[in-house]
Amino acid sequence: MLFKKIKRDKAEINGSSMADIAFLLLIFFLVTTTINVDTGIGMVLPPPPDGTESDIHERNLMNILVNAKGEILMDDRITNIEEVKDILKTFINNWGEDPNLSDSPEKAVISLKTQRETPYNIYIDMLDEVMAAYKEVRNEASLVNYGMEYSRLVVGSPQQVHIKELYKKRISLSE
């Protein structure tokens, strides 16, 4: 007796719902995936010039250069990063006493220049020191005038506006 092979249909998988499943997976991954966005350095740019020339006297300008080696030169003198904040506070808060420093906080300008090869971390540290100097002089003025720290003043209050106008951040960044 010979056995005949029985012809069977090949097994098939119903593929009609595969497109739906792929679409649902795509939506799931799109919804649950987070995309990192580089925010950069948060700085407020000054308004565009109004067309009038404003002269900045040499004594009101603090030149800071961070060179390719990461050295910090403040008015052509090599300075340690730890000294920068105190030097800037003295420069900003001079009120015309020292003829080599700024006339007043309103006229003080800090010019931060870098070279293309400047180490990024040194540049960020310098920006942090400049911002910290302004934060401290604003804080000290607020304590003297209003008996509380600048950060505790009500946002938009006349006291905060007065301190902010007195110690405007006049910073020039260039390469």
Domain that holds residue 134: 61-174
Residue among 149, 137, 143 nearest 92 (CA): 137
- Whether 98 maps to a domain, the answer reads yes
Using an 8 Å Cβ cutoff, are 111 and 63 in contact?
yes
Digits of tens for pLDDT over the chain (175 positions)? 567 777 777 777 777 788 889 999 999 999 998 887 766 666 655 555 555 545 678 888 999 999 999 899 998 899 999 999 999 999 999 888 888 888 888 889 998 999 989 998 998 999 999 999 999 999 999 999 999 999 899 989 999 999 999 999 888 888 7
Total domains, the chain: 1
Both tokens assigned to 57? 């006297």
Distant-in-sequence, close-in-space partners of 20: CB < 8 Å, separation ≥ 6: none
Within a domain: residue 45? Answer: no
Residue 28 lies in a domain: no
Q: Are strands 72-74 and 61-66 parallel, antiparallel or unpaired?
A: antiparallel
pTM reported for the whole predicted model = 0.70
Distance, in Å, from the CA atom of 150 to the CA atom of 35, rounded to the nearest integer, reads 36
